[in-house]
Amino acid sequence: MYCASWKKALNDSSFVRPTFALKVYKISDLYHIQKQQIFREIGIHSSLGTHHKHIIPFLAAFCTEDKTSIVIVLEYAEVRGKKVPKP
């Protein structure tokens, strides 16, 4: 799990830099069943959207350009009103 933020593209001081959680899975380290579970997780998150109050909102999923990793992008979570420490 990684923490990432949107890179500011313009010199706009009003731009809010949202923070994301990235779940990165190295494909070569996964068994076939694990790949199926990841794709099922993506499917379930996609169908729920961002409307469930007990599930962290899913934002995107993609395969890296070199096709070595699967990345799931989620909203960055807070624990008891405090941000989880960033690495």
The tens digit of pLDDT for each residue in 39-60 reads 999 999 888 866 777 788 888 9
**Predicted confidence (pLDDT) per residue in 63-72, tens digit:** 999 999 999 9
Q: How confident is the model at residue 36 (pLDDT cuts 50, 70, 90)?
A: very high
User: Taking CA 37 as the corner, what is the angle to CA 54 and CA 44, rounded to the nearest 5 degrees?
Assistant: 40
* CATH code for residues 19-83: 3.30.200.20
Which secondary-structure segment (H or E) carries 42? helix 32-48
Q: How confident is the model at residue 29 (pLDDT cuts 50, 70, 90)?
A: very high
Pairing outcome for strands 19-26 and 69-75: antiparallel
Task: Give the pLDDT of residue 47.
Answer: 85
Kindly state the average pLDDT of the residues 24-30: 94
What's the rounded Cα separation, in Å, for the pair 85 and 36? 31
Question: 65 is written with which tokens?
Answer: 């350009």
